[in-house]
Chains A and B, each alone.
Chain A
Amino acid sequence: MAQNFSCLGAAELRRGLLAKEYSATEVARDALFRVRALDGAVHAFLETTEELALSQAAALDAAVAEGRGAELGPLAGVPVAFKDNMNLAGTHTTCSSNMLRNYVSPYTATCVQRMLDAGALGLGKLNMDEFAFGSSTETSAFGPTCNPWDVERVPGGSSGGSAAAVAAGLACVTLGSDTGGSIRQPGSFCGLVAVKPTYGVVSRYGVVAFGSSLDQVGPFARSVEDAALAMNALAGRDPLDCTSQAVDADFTANLAEGVRGMRVGVVPAFMEAQGLAPEVRAKVQEAADHLRKLGAEIVEVDLPNAQAAMSAYYVLGPCEAFSNLARFDSVRYGYCDPGHADLGAQYEASRHRGFGPEARRRIMLGSYLLSSGVYETYYYPAQQVRTLITQDYARAYEQVDVILAPVAPRTAFRFGEVTDPTSMYLSDMFTISINIAGNGGMSMPAGLGADTGLPVGVQLIAPQFKDENMLRAAAALETVYGPAPVAPAFAPGAAAPIGAEADIPDAAQAVPGVDLPGGPWQQDAGVAGDQDVPDDARGQIAVAEGAAEQA
């Protein structure tokens, strides 16, 4: 009975709707059915939003029935899902952390709203590394997500759920966020078109912050066109995010232009980097050869300071994370460890138990790096490095229109294979400098690695606010490699993988028990004990008993 609409492309889905070959409601039901049937094998979803998807679908169907088909948005009827650090009113936004296990969003992130406004059908929320700290989705408090290409391997991270959902054909497009490689690396591991736009292209409003100066939202898709359509919906100034910029590009406009006359940079230092797997290096060289054959000019460029990006990142990222995560204090929402007599003890226990080890590590690191006497030694030089790297890229783009590089040093690894933090951090060695500089970067599937037989992505890096350049080069590569397939075990017609039947909570059930209506308050574990709050104080927020002593 399944029609596997989620395995189709966005343009095809919209065409079918307009041609009345099927209804949006059929698409939504089928997509939700596919999630319930198959997600058990990958664990990409943390929650589904059946009511939202069906009501969106009903509105689209009404528009078609009333002859208002022309009004349908560019993503009309496209099944989509969102990383669980993106707020969607009425759904949990957990960041895959026990800290926010019961937190229900009182509002919707701009990026999510723009996808819905473009007609997309919101299926639910996706697993991730806790607060986006990680490169494997193994730090999720709700268990890891599996790579649909080999369920014994990680999907990459931190946007592992977003990547796995598209690779398994559980959604057509998903959104992820990328602070050091968290879209591109899972994109490479799962063989997808995965775009981290230039910083400022997509609003961050409503996306739970990790590193505010590094975070950027972008799409996962199986074709360059789908990714470009999503970019069109997402990009542009948002009055609620003052770091967002006006963008007037149509990202689909030059996809068919080819790369003739384009200058493509390659960075010798990247290609010779220690730790770069031969099969990945081979794929990057192969992609360069294809681009040359398609008419591009390949130019060697130098990024002399890029090797310092990792060091700068592990200063700036934790510093911003330390401050961004300070709000999770057990007082107004989030996990509250019960029974503490004073505020200090409640803070300490709640944060100790609410955050996982990697989150605690980054908070401790940031707290140390920002402390007086240390700040001057690390934070300030890291900002100087940032300036140097930004200048490196700017200089390189005087010679080229786009840079071609590896995404991840290797293909997807097995669960538990990479355990020490430093090795895990090296997963992002080719992606981090792009976040530091603020440029756009994307992972483009280049087939399977010769040694592991797993997907390998190549990275295309654009000048700032020229994200259309990398999409254009990606579209050219797509003519060679073809659109990204759904992972074989999940492709239509394949036998259901082992453990496929999923039991995913629905967002509609999230609201009861949560004191949401009437105000933006979460009453989950927020109040220590069961004290009676005097009547005349209603409307104010109860803080732990003995908050007093803390002053």
Chain B
Amino acid sequence: MRKLEEVLEDWEAVIGLEIHAELTTLETKMFCGCKLEFGAAPNTHTCPVCLGMPGALPVPNKAAIESIVLAGLATNCDIEKRSMFYRKNYMYPDMAKNFQTTQGPVAFCMRGHLDLAVDGPAAKERYRLDKLAPGDVDGNITRTESGYVAHVGITRIHMEEDAGKMVHLGGGEGRIAGATHSLVDYNRAGTPLIELVTEPDLRTPEEARLFMQKLRQIYLAIGISDCSMEEGSLRCDGNVSLRRRGATEFGTKTELKNMNSFKNLHDGLAYEICRQAEVLEEGGQIYQETRHWDPSKKCTIVMRVKETADDYRLFPEPDLAPYDLSDEFIEGVRAKLPELPDEKAARYEADFALSAYDARHLVEHRVTANFFEACMEAAGADAAKLAKPAANLIINDVTAQMNADAAFDLDACALTPARAVELVQLVSDETISSKQAKEVLSAVLAEDADPAAIVEARGMKQVSDAGAIEAVVDAVIAANPDKVAQYQGGKTGLIGFFVGQCMKEMKGQGNPKLINELLAKKLG
């Protein structure tokens, strides 16, 4: 198979996502009073309603309606004042009533969008981005200095209930094939679920990944779900089709499932695009089918062929009256809308003169954004000066710590905002070097001590005495005549080697700025 970059030269990939989020932050299920709890003993959170016992009736959970309206407002959707629940009829044991209560043509939230900032390596998948100049518009994208912004339409967000969970025994790896028993746990049945459907506006796997990441940030910010892709509270299906560059008709699409991480979402889509290209280039045909991404084998396999469209016999749910949302209700929900990641990032750019890149990364996690704001508060009058180094500390060092250790809790760790400010202050006034700062950070976390005290105790102060530095610089130059010759012969990249040697001599305490200046002067 060819590489994605090559395939995308000849083919345009058309991608749409269907993203399910369980409203895990609610107390109870969508249509009954059963508790929502992940991991409870099977069938312990059940009642006649979510078990579909004869005679049981649904009563909608108002808080769930609030949650979906919140999601709609946060994704620029129109909130439909009058919408209805529908019954989607199909028989399967995980759905006790043998119909799923969902919504019809009019969902609570319609016609939204998100704008994705795509830059760095992520922008490379975009076809011929280099042909555009900043400010140029091509379809739904606008070129920026560092990449582009993609405007991605959201068709709708509708409310529905989750099914129970099936466990297959006797077959391999809990799979359906070869199973001798199938068990159903209805604890999950009736969990409030919102499904967001995008327009087919995405063109690269990176855009799909970024959309999913951005949506997750938003859902976390508004607090409607824990958005755990691992536990399945945030799930994504992708619809992919290819068409030749320049073509306007859509190709046949396949539906991709089991992309339960951002990486799997990207890799699954990338594989499927390449697979489809290969089939088409060999004169084959794409069938409308559901495919399963296998992350261990790194390929997609057919789950189910859809020969004809499923007939779900959708009709309005007679047990639930049409839902009329008052302006008062909608405005009440709007009032609960917190500052969204995009708004927060814009504020950081304006108030603290951060770059768009820094601001965006700070708001990626609620904890890092909150931590940054606490730092700025602690910095007081120095906030403007310390914003950039504090942002760097958080984006680079703190985030690395969070990524390395899942149990790391920024709110509870020894690095308080006051200590973080103290640390960047030490770098800023050149008391310690940025290299030393990393060591101090580790020490703060390990010893639960103030940065200044650590610097004091370890005698780590940065040497900015020009005389002392000059002596070391001279010694290093004298010890490496061959390298000096090479440098002077044009290999200026060797400056790093000399700085490193000087730092080593000075046990990391030399002022790198001064070392650099002196080296440049002396190597001439």
Contact of A541 among B53, B91, B184, B314 (CB under 8 A): B184
Is B134's beta carbon under 8 Å from chain A?
no
Check if A67 is an interface residue, CB within 8 A of chain B.
no
Chain A residue, CB-CB nearest to B183 = A540
Instruction: Give Cα distance in the complex from A174 to B166, angstroms.
Output: 42
B204 at the interface (CB under 8 A from A): no
Q: Which partner residue on chain B sits nearest A203 by CB separation?
A: B57
Within 8 A of B (CB), among A187-225: 204-209, 211-213
Contact A543 B93 (CB under 8 A): yes
Which A residues, 106 to 124, have Cβ-Cβ distances below 8 Å to chain B?
106-107, 109
* A531 and B180 contact, Cβ closer than 8 Å, known pairs A206-B56, A370-B313, A539-B44: yes
- On whether the beta carbons of B318 and A87 are closer than 8 Å, the reply is no
Count class of interface residues, chain A: 35 or more
**Cβ-defined contact, B54 with A540, below 8 A:** no
Interface residues of A in 353-388 (CB under 8 A from B): 367, 370-372, 375, 379
Per-residue CB contact flags for chain A residues 316-350 toward chain B (1 = under 8 Å, else 0) read: 00011011001111011100000000010001000
Contact between A541 and B43 (Cβ–Cβ < 8 Å)?
yes
Contact B318 A213 (CB under 8 A): yes
Q: Contact size class for B?
A: 35 or more
Assembly CA distance A240 to B60 (angstroms) = 10
Q: Is A208 in contact with B55, judged by CB distance below 8 angstroms? A: yes
Q: How far is the CB of B210 from chain A (nearest CB, A)?
A: 33
Q: What 0/1 pattern do residues 472 to 506 of A give for CB contact below 8 A with B? A: 00000000000000000000000000000000000
In the complex, A520→B51 CA distance in Å?
9
Given contacts A208-B54, A370-B313, contact A326 B180 (CB under 8 A): no
Picked from B58, B166, B181, B311, the residue with its CB within 8 Å of the CB of A372 is B311
A534 and B180 CA atoms in complex are apart in Å by 11
Q: Judge if B169 is at the interface, Cβ distance under 8 Å.
A: yes
Q: How far is the CB of A313 from chain B (nearest CB, A)?
A: 14
Interface centre among A93, A239, A329 (most CB of B within 10 A): A329
- Quick one: given A343-B93, A519-B43, A537-B169, are A242 and B54 in contact (CB under 8 Å)? no
For the complex formed, measure the closest distance between the CB of A221 and the CB atoms of chain B, giving whole angstroms: 24
Q: Does the CB pair A545–B55 fall under 8 Å?
A: no
A103 in contact (CB, < 8 A): yes
B contact face: mostly helix, strand, loop, or mixed: loop
Determine the chain B residues whose CB is within 8 A of the CB of A206 once the complex forms. Answer: 55-56
Query: Provided the pairs A323-B99, A519-B43, A520-B48 are in contact, do residues A212 and B318 lie with their beta carbons within 8 angstroms?
Result: yes
Select one of B46, B178, B184 contacting A543, CB under 8 A: B184
**B333-363: which have CB < 8 Å to A?**
none
A332: chain B residues within 8 A (beta carbon)? 51-52, 93, 96
Given contacts A100-B54, A209-B55, A540-B184, contact A548 B43 (CB under 8 A): no
Q: Is B233 part of the binding interface, using a Cβ–Cβ cutoff of 8 Å?
A: no
Chain B positions within 8 Å of A95 at CB level: 54
CA distance A520 to B168 in the complex (A): 23
A542 at the interface (CB under 8 A from B): yes
Q: Are B53 and A540 in contact (CB under 8 A)?
A: no
Interface status of A533 (Cβ within 8 A of chain B): yes
In chain A, what residue has the closest Cβ to B94? A543
Q: Is A419 an interface residue (CB 8 A)?
A: no
A243 to B58, CA, bound (A): 10
Q: Are B57 and A319 in contact (CB under 8 A)?
A: no
Residues of B within 8 A of A93 (CB): 54-55
Interface residues of A in 502-551 (CB under 8 A from B): 519-520, 531, 533-534, 537, 539-551
**Shortest Cβ gap from B142 to chain A (Å):** 40
Given A331-B93, A371-B313, CB of A242 within 8 Å of CB of B59? yes
- Closest residue on chain A to residue B309 by CB atoms: A372
Cβ contact within 8 Å between A548 and B53: no
Is the CB of B89 closer than 8 A to any CB of chain A?
A: yes
Evaluate whether A319 and B315 lie within 8 angstroms (CB atoms) in the complex, with A327-B98, A547-B182 already known. Answer: yes
- Bound complex: CA of A531 vs CA of B58, how far in Å? 34
Query: Which of chain A's residues has its CB closest to B310's CB?
Result: A372
> Once the chains bind, are A541 and B54 in contact (CB under 8 Å)?
no
Docked-complex contact B57 and A204, CB < 8 angstroms: yes
Query: Is the CB–CB distance between A242 and B43 below 8 Å?
Result: no
Cβ A242 vs Cβ B320 within 8 A = yes
**A286 an interface residue at 8 Å Cβ cutoff?**
no
A95, B43: Cα distance in complex, Å: 26
Question: Given that A375-B315, A548-B176 are known contacts, is A205 also in contact with B57, CB under 8 Å in the complex?
Answer: yes
Which residues in window 305-322 of B have CB below 8 A to A? 309, 311, 313-315, 318-321
Which of B55, B92, B167 has the most C-beta atoms of chain A within 10 angstroms of its own C-beta?
B55
B89 neighbours in A (Cβ, 8 Å): 322-323, 326, 370
Assuming the contacts A87-B54, A93-B54, A205-B56, asked whether A542 and B181 have C-beta atoms less than 8 A apart, the reply is yes
* B186 proximity list for chain A (CB < 8 A): 541
A88 to chain B, nearest CB (A): 11
Is A241 at the interface (CB under 8 A from chain B)? yes
Residue B135 is within 8 A (CB to CB) of chain A in the complex: no
| B42 contacts the other chain (CB 8 A) | yes
Residues of B near A534 (CB, < 8 A) are: 169, 181
Could you tell me the distance between the alpha carbons of A109 and B48 in the complex, rounded to whole angstroms?
11
- Would you call B315 and A323 a contact (CB within 8 A)? yes
B46 and A520 contacting across the interface, CB-CB below 8 Å: yes
Given contacts A239-B59, A240-B57, contact A371 B318 (CB under 8 A): no
User: Does B485 have its Cβ within 8 Å of any Cβ on chain A?
Assistant: no
Is B332 close to A, CB under 8 A?
no
* Given the contacts A107-B53, A326-B99, A540 and B315 also touching, CB distance less than 8 Å: no
Q: How far is the CA of A265 from the CA of B177 in the complex (A)?
A: 66
Whether the pair B93, A379 counts as a contact (CB closer than 8 A) is no
B interface footprint on A78-101 (CB within 8 Å = 1, 0 otherwise): 000000011100000101000010
Whether B185 sits at the interface, judged by CB under 8 Å, is yes
Partner of B304, one of A103, A241, A243, A551: A551
Query: Which residues from A are CB-within-8-Å of B53?
Result: 106-107, 333, 520
Any chain A CB within 8 A of the CB of B87?
Answer: yes
A537-B168 Cα distance, complex, nearest whole Å:
10
Bound CA–CA A371/B311 (angstroms): 7
Residues A241 and B182 in contact in the complex (CB < 8 Å), given A212-B318, A550-B92: no
Residues of A within 8 A of B445 (CB): none
Please measure, in the bound complex, the distance between the C-alpha atom of A371 and the C-alpha atom of B57, giving whole angstroms. 24
Kindly list chain B residues whose C-beta atoms are within 8 Å of the C-beta of A322: 89, 313
Contact indicator per residue, chain A 228-250, by CB within 8 Å of chain B (1) or not (0): 00000000000111110000000
B269 CB, min distance to chain A CBs, angstroms:
24
Does the CB pair B320–A540 fall under 8 Å?
A: no
Q: Which residues of B contact A103 (CB under 8 A)?
A: 54
| Contact flags B179-215 to A (C-beta < 8 A → 1, else 0) | 1111111100000000000000000000000000000
Query: Contact between B42 and A540 (Cβ–Cβ < 8 Å)?
Result: yes
**B168 partner residues in chain A, CB cutoff 8 A:** 547-548
A375 to B312, CA, bound (A): 11
Please give, as numbers and ranges, the residues of chain A lying within 8 Å of B181 by CB-CB distance. 531, 533-534, 537, 542-543, 545
CA distance A214 to B4 in the complex (A): 57
Distance in Å: Cβ of A275 to nearest Cβ of chain B: 30
Q: Across the interface, do B54 and A107 meet the contact criterion of CB distance under 8 Å? A: no
- The CA-CA distance from A320 to B86 in the complex, in Å, is 12
Give the shortest distance, in Å, between A193 (CB) and chain B (any CB).
26
Q: Is B471 close to A, CB under 8 A?
A: no
Chain B residues, Cβ within 8 Å of A541:
43, 183-184, 186
* Chain A interface residues (CB < 8 Å from chain B): 85-87, 93, 95, 100, 103, 106-107, 109, 204-209, 211-213, 239-243, 319-320, 322-323, 326-329, 331-333, 343, 347, 367, 370-372, 375, 379, 519-520, 531, 533-534, 537, 539-551
16 intermolecular pairs with C-beta atoms under 8 Å apart? A93-B54, A107-B56, A207-B55, A242-B57, A242-B60, A243-B321, A370-B89, A370-B314, A534-B169, A537-B167, A537-B181, A539-B41, A540-B183, A541-B43, A547-B93, A548-B168
Would you list the 7 A-B pairs with minimal beta carbon distance, nearest first?
A326-B98, A547-B182, A370-B313, A540-B183, A212-B318, A213-B318, A548-B176
Given contacts A370-B89, A548-B179, could you give 7 more A-B pairs where the C-beta distance is less than 8 Å? A212-B319, A242-B320, A332-B51, A375-B313, A543-B181, A547-B93, A548-B176
